[in-house]
Amino acid sequence: MRLTSVGAARMVTGSSHLVEVAGKRILVDCGLFQGGSEADELNRRPFVFDPASLDAVLVTHGHLDHVGRLPLLVKMGYEGRFYATAGTRDIAKIILRDAAHLQVEDHKRDLRRAARAGRASEVLPSLFDVADAEEAISRFTFVGFGEALELGRGVTARYEPAGHILGSAYVVMEAEGKRVVFSGDLGNRQSSLHLTAVPPVDADAIVIETTYADRSHRSLEETRTEFAEVISRALQAGGNVLIPTFAVERAQQVLYEIYRLVGEGRIPDLPVYLDSPMATRVTREYRAGIEELKPEVARVFSEGGDPFDPPSLAFTLSTKESMALNDIHAGMIVLAGSGMMTGGRILHHLKHNLWREAASVVVVGYQARGTLGRALVDGAKEVRIFGETIAVKASIHTIGGFSAHADHDDLVAFISKSPRARLLLVHGEPEVMDEFAVQQRTEGRQVVTPELNVPLEMFG
């Protein structure tokens, strides 16, 4: 059995792993590389395998760094299906359409800029367009959790809940008498929405993500208390409260936490706006897939309530509705994307609120280096938004505990029922992987960290 990591090898994005076994070629995920020009170059490189030669593509979940190159696979000749759970298919649909849209918009902008510099001919075409995304979406085939998917020649795959986002799964592949697990992204046991993954039993090898292998998340209770305090303080300050949020999982989690706080009388029932058409669509899918979530969340729904709908929540879908919020200077909570404040409607809200002393920004997600979000968290006194200098007078609060990813203890729990499994570390920063590898080797594990595009024998 041979494994070639064609993404997320000693890095976090671009998840994609090729397995060659029993004469079959199976790809697990095909995500986009993200972050800067280096990522763009990696996305444009031809695949090291012939997409037409693949027998199947298994998709663990709908995040862009796991599905973003699926349209390219189709463009390059893959004729088969993308197997995924219902939740993954529904989230991937939203993510791929949005990505196609952005690709096309970015391309148009690059063209306009290059044209003014007299270099329009140097602009590369967009990676894929809306039609490519739609073709990829049409290739999805639904697989239920726990069902055995027969891939031929005795190779089977099964999807088990990973607790990361709606529909997320880890894959258990059985072939040639071996059981190999692909973790995909694993969830945080402190999630308020998702159930924790049940560890696989007696695996021979586990290809495992290591995003947060070096840290421990705070408990859900601590995070809830902190969130309640921050929101109360922000509301007392008298201005608006902006919560930049990722559309998938984080927006739903924050809505649910606000729903709880209002219900418990811990914060007043103030207007809350979900100003993100994408998050609104994802929230709809979360409602449709609610049985997959924690029983206390599902119970709200079965008792006629809606855990993602605090009493005075409004979804602002049109640009006009969104712009109308700019005239409100106090007393509302706005959730908007993008999560790292690199684009999207949150920029307009920041422009209209950051310079006001009474306003607050509550950061509930990871902020990568080089993003506007990171600059604010790091204490920037002024920032540039839409070419304008904006003074930062608002208070910036960071809630560290919300995370959709497994921490060190979650990862250790995940491998605990497979004591003999060889570990193949992926989807992490090199230093974090190396530290985890050293720890696991001292526990007597065999550990390998695949290099990008370098094939290795899984049991060699």
Interface residues with Zn ion (CB under 5 A) are 63, 185
List of residues 6+ apart from 176 with CB closer than 8 A: 1, 21, 22, 154
Determine the Cα–Cα distance for residues 120 and 270; give it in Å rounded to an integer: 49
Considering the complex, what minimum distance in angstroms separates the CB of residue 310 from Zn ion? 26
Looking from the CA of 22 toward its CB, the CA atoms found within 13 Å total 15
Question: Considering the complex, what minimum distance in angstroms separates the CB of residue 66 from Zn ion?
Answer: 6
Q: Which two tokens stand for residue 292?
A: 């997959």
- State the nearest-atom distance from the C-beta of 262 to Zn ion, in Å: 29
- Cβ(167)–Cβ(39) under 8 Å? no
C-alpha to C-alpha distance for 423 and 433, rounded to whole angstroms: 11
Contact criterion met (CB below 8 Å) for 276 and 247: yes
Residue 185 or 285 having the CB closest to Zn ion: 185
Q: Which is nearer to Zn ion, 191 or 240 (CB)?
A: 191
Distance CA 295, CA 293 (A): 6
**433's tokens:** 């992987």
Helix axes 220-236 and 250-263, enclosed angle (nearest 10) = 70
Q: Give the nearest distance from C-beta 164 to Zn ion in angstroms.
A: 6
Q: For Zn ion, which is the closer residue by CB, 63 or 352? A: 63
Q: CB of residue 432 vs Zn ion: minimum separation in angstroms?
A: 16
Q: How far is the CB of 381 from Zn ion (least distance, A)?
A: 34
DSSP string, 371-398: SHHHHHHTT-SEEEETTEEEE--SEEEE
Q: Which residue has the tokens 């049109």?
A: 318
Kindly state the smallest distance separating residue 235's Cβ from Zn ion, in Å.
32
Distance separating alpha carbons of residues 187 and 162, to the nearest angstrom: 6
Report how far residue 98's alpha carbon sits from residue 201's, in angstroms, rounded to the nearest whole number. 37
C-beta closer to Zn ion: residue 21 or 58: 58
CB 70, min distance to Zn ion, A: 15
Minimum gap (Å) between residue 367 Cβ and Zn ion: 17
How far is 217 from 338, CA to CA, in rounded Å? 23
Closest CB to Zn ion among residues 34, 156: 34
Nearer to Zn ion, 126 or 245 (CB): 245
Minimal distance, residue 349 CB to Zn ion, in Å: 26
Looking at beta carbons only, is 15 or 43 nearer to Zn ion? 15
Residue 185 or 309 with smaller CB distance to Zn ion: 185
Phi then psi for residue 88, to 5 deg, are -65, -45
Going by C-alpha positions, the residue among 101, 81, 93, 143 that lies closest to residue 285 is: 93
Residue with smaller CB distance to Zn ion, 162 or 241 = 162
Count of CB atoms situated within 10 Å of the CB of 420: 11
Nearer to Zn ion, 32 or 234 (CB): 32
8 Å CB contact between 97 and 159? no
Decide the pairing of beta strands 24-28 and 16-21. antiparallel
Whether omega before 338 lies within 30 degrees of 0, making that bond cis, reads yes
Q: Yes or no: say if 312 and 272 are a contact pair by the CB < 8 Å rule.
A: yes
